[in-house]
Amino acid sequence: MLKKRERLLSQNQPCSEDETMVPVLTSRKASELPVNEAACILQADLQSGLSQEEVSRRRVYHGWNEFDISEDEPLWRKYMSQFKDPLILLLLASAVISVIMHQFDDAISITVAIIIVVTVAFVQEYRSEKSLEELGKLMPPECHCIRDGHLEHLLARELVPGDTVCLSVGERVPADLRLFEASDLSIDESSLTGETHPSAKTTSPQPASSNGDLSSRSNVAFMGTLVRCGKAKGIVIGTGENSEFGEVFKMMQAEEAPKTPLQKSMDLLGKQLSLYSFGIIGVIMLVGWLQGKGILDMFTIGVSLAVAAIPEGLPIVVTVTLALGVMRMVKKRAIVKKLPIVETLGCCNVICSDKTGTLTKNEMTVTQVFTSDGLHAEVTGVGYNGVGEVLLDGEMVHGFSCPSISKVVEVGCVCNDSVIRNQNLLGRPTEGALIALAMKMGLEGVQKEYVRLEEHPFTSEQKWMSVRCVHRTQQDKTGVYFVKGAYEQVIRFCSSYNSRGSALPLNHQQRELYQQQISYMGSSGLRVLGFASGSQMGSLTFLGLVGIIDPPREGVKEAIATLINSGVAIKMITGDSQETAVSIASRLGLYSKGCQCLSGEEVDHLDLQELSDVVPRIAVFYRASPRHKLKIVKSLQNLGAVVAMTGDGVNDAVALKAADIGVAMGQTGTDVCKEAADMILVDDDFQTIMSAIEEGKGIYNNIKNFVRFQLSTSIAALTLISLATLMNFPNPLNAMQILWINIIMDGPPAQSLGVEPVDRDVIRKPPRNVKDSILTRGLLVKVLVSAFIIVCGTLFVFWRELQDNVITPRDTTMTFTCFVFFDMFNALSSRSQTRMVHEIGLCSNRPFCFAVLASIMGQLLVIYFPPLQSVFQTESLSILDLLFLLSLTSSVCVVSEVIKKLERCRGAERRPPTDCSLEV
């Protein structure tokens, strides 16, 4: 297929009827051609786009716009690679030696055990890989494309060569595009070319003489790059691996994802335990040999013990637990892009949140209009539609029946980039509210009466937007400026105000009147916009104000209260006025008597240290922009805080990267913002942050539970064999039994601890110190206590059965079953470090129940199934034996529950009174 495409490129024109359906262009060739020639070769319609039938035909040839990941290694080869583990090779050597010495039973037993151990390890690794693969599919890139004459929002993978794509600020370029429209377009190509400065783009053809590397092609937008400013349209010239980004992707595939700090610490812990285990096992083998025990027996037991005691599954289970936890977060509408963030979530003690769309619904509705000459109109109806009325003194205003109001509505409609189609908004919610207002007055068509000549787009830094337009009947004139934005910004460009159709000089008295009206609207929680128009930007005529309501999201107030009570400070950052910001914050329980607020301008005047001194007392930052966010994050980090910062705009990217947890908005967030973030809120809801923190704490607790279980089992197994050897007892467990214990320790029961449901009360617990080790003093005590009980109980059973000083299959069967039952009860008590078993519920973690049930069934088969009896050297036990073992082994769970109860009582005595202050 690639050769066929190369042939087409070299000829630069279709050669047969079949090939006319498969147009292609390289970025070099496309950049040198005029737009109309490129469109002709690609058989593209610049204005209407491709039809659905044509898209389907082209996709058959070109495939989807995505990268084919190199073929996976065959499963059989992955399985065979498990046998390369040094310990497995030693066990195989032991089996070979057994064969040479005609000990065929031992050889078969060892081989069966090896196959089981290897299979468990293979399944673990396979699950880990598949879980991590799923993470890469959580947030597929999207784009805006024109097809059949309509603008459509679709997945980037659906694009084909010849499609017409629309780009705007903050978006990721979905394929290689030959640009045919570009307005103030600047693209960040650092991911492709390494250039740190954004590249300015044009539409004119590139002379062949200056067409060198990728960075010189100024009329091509490359796949994977980011739009920093402006907007554009382009024809798709390359998709998937045929794009210039294809080579970069291949290099990215070769790079391994870095391990998380927790994974690294588990690796280190595993290596340290391996070192200690090897030392102890070496001593056991040496002492056993000196005592006259068979060298082959001691070698087999030593290697089996190494397999069981060395927690090789620790890093794998940590990865699986993290990955499965992330998949659970997806169900709660939070997409975590980087695994380390799961660990950081539990440490977060400050959340800096945007107001609009995160704390509020982002469902904008105009409720009040105030004209520059003092008229005050009420607006009814909600949603992005024309249902509702504009009422002035009880009378309905429609069309141009009241020019003062109509002029405000006209500016809001003309100075607007959004579209409402079938009650669905394509664009910004604020602009959608203004179009809905125009629809209620029957003025939505006024936008089509003007031709736009020039545009100054809205940014969160400047907080205003302007367009220069000319009426379609007066295209010989210079045009009129229409401006909307924050009142303080719009009024700077005004020298007069509209009064019943006349422009009067703007005086101090009028400014005071407008400021009072803004305070009144703001105190009601309304977002206030100012409107102006005129022939020159420096001498505009002020037209009036509009009040837009954006009600708080349901449940956010409760979520904020829960987080504050758990020790997490919440800071609201908004571009709104002080009155609006404080009104919303008060409703949400963020702002109360004694709290303070700070403006973006005041943040500018403070240096970093001064801001760090006051920031703990600040609940609200108003009239703030993205550059202020970065300074706020740095000031909080100066105090040692772990900061989560939300953002949605292009300029928020720097602050999101600087924050410990960058949180992007899934619905309103730009691709630039999502790229910089660590986590994406699919529904833009603040409650999702709380759910993510809750899940993060739960995942960390589950890993602690697993570590506790595995360490206590490892230490118990090592100690048991060590003591038996030092006391010159016969070995209480044979090699096969030790390997079976390893399967339980690394297998389903252990892994099921990683999917324990999140404790309801975990969100109410204070954030964890980021420097705390996972092996805390309390956890280590519980590990050692459990190991001590398991060793004492198992040795007691072994001593009790060994009364005749002759080791029999019954002796080892009782000891072996005792250890396995201890393991099951130990796993049960390890499900939570704080809650009692009856509080958790026996069946609340179904995978755990199934895993334990399967392990017990497996143990019973080992005891009662004749073929397995010969492998594991066991014999049948009576029902009384099993009841005795169950009553004894349950002691490890009982003691663990008593420790939890004592800790809870001691914690209640020490717990300080709840402090709801915002101190970090």
Residues known to be catalytic: 354
Phi-psi region of 385 (alpha: psi -120 to 50; beta: other; left: phi over 0): beta
- DSSP strand pairing (176-188 vs 199-200): antiparallel
Report d(CA 152, CA 148) in Å as an integer.
9
What is the distance of C-alpha 862 from the center of its chain? 44
Q: Are 671 and 664 in contact (CB under 8 A)?
A: no
User: Angle at which helices 86-100 and 104-135 pack, to 10 degrees?
Assistant: 160
| DSSP H/E element including 90 | helix 86-100
Q: Where does residue 148 rank: exposed (0-12), middle (13-18), buried (19+ CB within 10 A)?
A: middle
Report d(CA 421, CA 151) in Å as an integer.
11
What is the distance of C-alpha 278 from the center of its chain? 40
How would you list the strands of the sheet with 569-573, edge to edge? 334-336, 679-681, 661-665, 643-647, 350-354, 569-573, 618-622, 596-599
Report d(CA 354, CA 348) in Å as an integer.
17
| DSSP H/E element including 452 | strand 450-456
| 50 three-class SS | strand
Report d(CA 325, CA 344) in Å as an integer.
14
Residue type at 782 in one-letter notation: K
Q: Are 165 and 234 in contact (CB under 8 A)?
A: yes
Cα of first residue to Cα of last residue in the chain, in angstroms, is 61
Residue corresponding to tokens 């009028």: 510
| DSSP H/E element including 620 | strand 618-622
- DSSP strand pairing (569-573 vs 350-354): parallel
Instruction: Name which of 459, 356, 647, 361 is nearest 632 in CA terms.
Output: 647
All residues at 6 or more sequence positions from 432 whose CB lies less than 8 Å from its CB, including other chains:
364, 384, 418, 420, 425
Report d(CA 747, CA 113) in Å as an integer.
14
Q: Which one-letter DSSP state was computed for residue 530?
A: E
Instruction: Name which of 442, 432, 435, 428 is nearest 396 in CA terms.
Output: 442
Structure tokens at 116: 């089981």
Residue corresponding to tokens 């089981």: 116
Structure tokens at 296: 């082959």
DSSP track, 235-280: EEEE-GGGSTHHHHHHHHHHSPPPPPHHHHHHHHHHHHHHHHHHHH
Report d(CA 100, CA 107) in Å as an integer.
9
User: Which residues lie across from 482 on neighbouring strands?
Assistant: 467, 533
Q: Are 436 and 383 in contact (CB under 8 A)?
A: yes
Q: What angle do CA 104, 108, 114 make, to 5 degrees?
A: 145
Q: Are 886 and 821 in contact (CB under 8 A)?
A: yes
| 731 three-class SS | coil
